Every structure is written in C-alpha cells, then in structure tokens.
Chain A
C-alpha cells in the first residue's frame, strides 16, 4: 500500500514554526500569571469575572495549537494514510466551539445581572497593613492582564500568516483584541466606583459579546475548512488565486489542451485534484509527473497533488 510521503516544511517555515511554538508556550506562561493575578483580587464585578473567564479560555487556543503542531508532523501510516494534517483544523474547531459556548453563557449571565438590577459590592482589602479599595487592585490586575497578550498577539500574527496556520491566526487575533476586554472591564470597575451599578453589567455584556463573536467567526471558518471550501488567503480571507495560476501554468505546457484544478485545505497544506486534457497521445506518464513537479514548485503549501489525464473536462 502506498502512503503519502510526509510533508516537510521549507527551512524558512521550519524556523517560523519553532518561533511560533516558543511564543505559544510563552503565551501559556504569561496567561497563567495573568489568571493568577486576577484571581487574587477577583471581586464581585461581573465584568471582571467575565474578563477572567475569557483569560481562562484564552489558554485553550495556544494549547490546541501546540498539541496540533506536535501531532500534524506525524508521518502518514496504515491507519491514517492521509497523515495528520487536519489536526490543526480540528483543534481550531474545538477551540472555537469552546469560545462560542462560553460567550453565549457569559452573555446570558451579563444580561441576567443587568435585568435583576444586581448591584455589585466591592469592599476593601488589606494590603501591607493598609486598607485599600479592592477596585483599585482589580484595575491594577486588569491593566497587567492587557499587556502580555497585546505584545504576543502582534508577534504571532506574521508567523500565523507565514505558516498559514489558522488556529495560530485566530489565537493571535484574539490576543490582539484582548486589550479591549481589559479596557471594558476597567470601565466596569470604575463605573462601580462612581456609583453606576449598571456600568459593570454593561461592560460584562460587551466582553461576552466579543467572546461570542470571536467564537462564531472562528467556528464558521473551521466548519468551512473541514467541509473542504476552496482555499482562502489567511490575511485577507479572499479566495486564493493559486488554482487559477496552476491552471494557467498547465495550459502553457505544449502537450496540454485544457486543465482544471480543484484544491482544498488540509490544515496549512493545499491538496486536491488536477485534471489535464492532452492534445495527443504520447509519454503521458512522464508528462504528468513533470507537470506535477512544476506545479509543486509554485507554492510550498501544495502537497500530494493528484494529476489526472482525462479525455474531456466536463
């Protein structure tokens, strides 16, 4: 039985992968310190609780990315003849499902808090012998919580594009949007301080809505990926022009009369069928193999293309 040859990353992407993994580990580490710091001063603010749960949830994407990056490199075998490249897509789906569910739950809780006119109670804490309003400590923790994801998100974004790793990309985007969560929660706590009890619930709703939105957007993409949508560019979300370029390349070959290309994404890879109509009979097997090699040279993400000579395209 013939198995797929394992895909190897080009040197540049291999380096990007090492950096991406390092950044994801760093994200796990920083997020853990943020969660601990926020947990220490977590008071009765619904907004802060929501932001805290969001931070807990933001452990899921990096963990999923790290696990998926480890598994996707396994060589194809008898049980999984097509390899493990879809692992990233599955990780992406899992992470976005978690986000969606929690977003909906938090939105419901925020709405309930607002409707029941629940006034958040925040008293004082003892800090080095001084009595401090806990709200100040909560705000300090929230300010700290904003900084690491902002920096890490910016660093991860270009790597995600380079590697075409959608899970990493979603993670980077969520990190970059995290400062808004923090700012909203700070507004909520300040609102409590100003005696505006509803500000907190309102901020919680805004945060929950952003979590839900992240979840739905990513869920949508993950499902489309797994349903073999035509490849899209990761940066813009537009359809990738690569299939058209492949067709053009083939139709410039002297022996090709017509060609058609169907691609789908398998994790970061692009694979699929290529149909060619030869002008005349000849050494078709050799021609097809040469054509496949030339197509392969177009993009490092192309993998295991099946080039099939046919009499007619329709």
Chain B
C-alpha cells in the first residue's frame, strides 16, 4: 500500500511539473514541434494522391492543419507502400498515410491510430431498379480487381458492366452518385494512420487531432472526389 501511495505522489508531482504524458521513447513529438513532421504518402485517392511537388488528398490536407497547429514544417515523402512503411518502422518517418484500414497486415510491426472514420462499402441501385434483399446471382458493378469485387463474388453476385443498375461503392459517394442505397453492406474499412511503434506522445497528439476532425471527413472525401474524379 505504501508503495502505491508513493507512486501516486511521484506521479502527481511529475504531472504538475508540466511534463508531457505519455512521452515518446524516441522523442518524435519534440522533433516535430521543433521543426519537421516527416510524412510518408502512399498514392490511394481520394485519401492521399501523389503530386508533382506536394501530395493532395484528404489525409495530407488533415496533416497540413495539424502541422500548422504544432508549428511544424512538413517534409513529404511520396513513395511505394513497402518502402515507406519500412522507413516508418525504423522511425525515419513520423506518420504514413494512404487510406490504410486498421486490419492491414503491417500493424503487427507498426503503431496505428484509433480509427477516425469508417468507410462502409455498400450496394447502391438506380431509382427505378427493383429492390434487392440478397446478392446471390445478382449482377452488380464494381471496379475490376477491387476488394469490393472480391466481396461481391464471395456473396455470390455476378460481375456487371460499370453502368449497370446495381453498383458497389463507398457510402460517402452516395450523395454525388444519383443512386439509392439498397440496405446491403459489403464490408467496412476502419481508417487509420500508421505511426512508429511506441511513440505514444505523438500518437496521442495525432489521435486527439483526428477525433476533432471526425465530423468533417465525409465532406472532405466528397470535395476531393469532385476535384479529381
């Protein structure tokens, strides 16, 4: 009991002394505050889009705002996923974005933020199309080689040309698509950003920032999609 009490006192003292808690073992947050936020960007529109000088997309836009809040300059590194994630693992980058879902296989070696947006892939229909209750043997359009196409096949749906009356798409596209929801959901992606393992001070800062952005994400996605369809 005395040990617990002493711990509590030591903790209270160190917190009241204005220390950051939790802190980073490798001082990421200090580095960022002092100067440069190093961001790896994987091309995955509309989340992140490689550009000539600087990347575009929803996630780079968000990080620009965070960097401004922290008084940091951003160094963008646009590259292939594997290269960037290895660099992130070694702590060379602070964060990598590119529409990552929280079940991506890299998360065993990397840290990830709590999910800040859930992308729901649904089946939508033209207004005059008959209502759907299940997908077996129903032709549904989806991009060739997409995850949505895989989920459709698993549920027994048949491939269809792009202009077909049923289409798989992320729910945030619905308002701009002119389609109606059928009530059928294919799968969900819980969006995260990837960080170096154990840099908890930086991770907490990033998560707090992303929590505040939640209500804007869908609007940002639509804006980005309209800008570069």
Contact = CB atoms under 8 A, between A and B. Distances in A.
A186 B7 CA distance: 9
Contacts of A195: 22-25, 27, 200-201
A98 interface: no
Nearest to A121: B111
B203 A123 contact: yes
Contact of B207 (A124, A135, A186, A197): A124
A133 B114 contact: no
B7 A187 contact: yes
Contact of A122 (B11, B14, B22, B27): B22
Given A183-B3, A194-B23, A195-B22, A123 B114 contact: yes
Contacts of B197: 118-121
A192 interface: yes
Nearest to A135: B22
A131 B24 CA distance: 18
Contact of B200 (A118, A122, A131, A183): A122
B114 A124 contact: yes
Interface in B12-27: 14, 21-27
Interface of B: 3-4, 7, 11, 14, 21-27, 111-114, 195-201, 203-204, 207-208, 211
A311 to B, nearest CB: 63
B198 A120 contact: yes
Contacts of A196: 25
A117 to B, nearest CB: 9
Nearest to B21: A193
Interface residues of A, number: 23
Given A131-B208, A195-B25, A190 B198 contact: no
A222 B37 CA distance: 59
A75 interface: no
Contact of A190 (B7, B112, B201): B7
19 contacts: A118-B197, A118-B198, A119-B197, A121-B195, A122-B200, A123-B200, A123-B207, A124-B203, A126-B114, A131-B207, A131-B208, A133-B200, A183-B4, A186-B4, A190-B11, A193-B21, A193-B22, A194-B21, A195-B201
A125 interface: yes
Contacts of A194: 14, 21-23
B208 A124 contact: yes
B25 A119 contact: yes
Contact of A125 (B23, B114, B196, B203): B114
A133 B24 contact: no
Contacts of A131: 207-208, 211
Contacts of B199: 119, 121
Nearest to A120: B198
Contact of A192 (B22, B111, B207, B208): B22
Interface in A114-150: 118-126, 131, 133, 135, 143
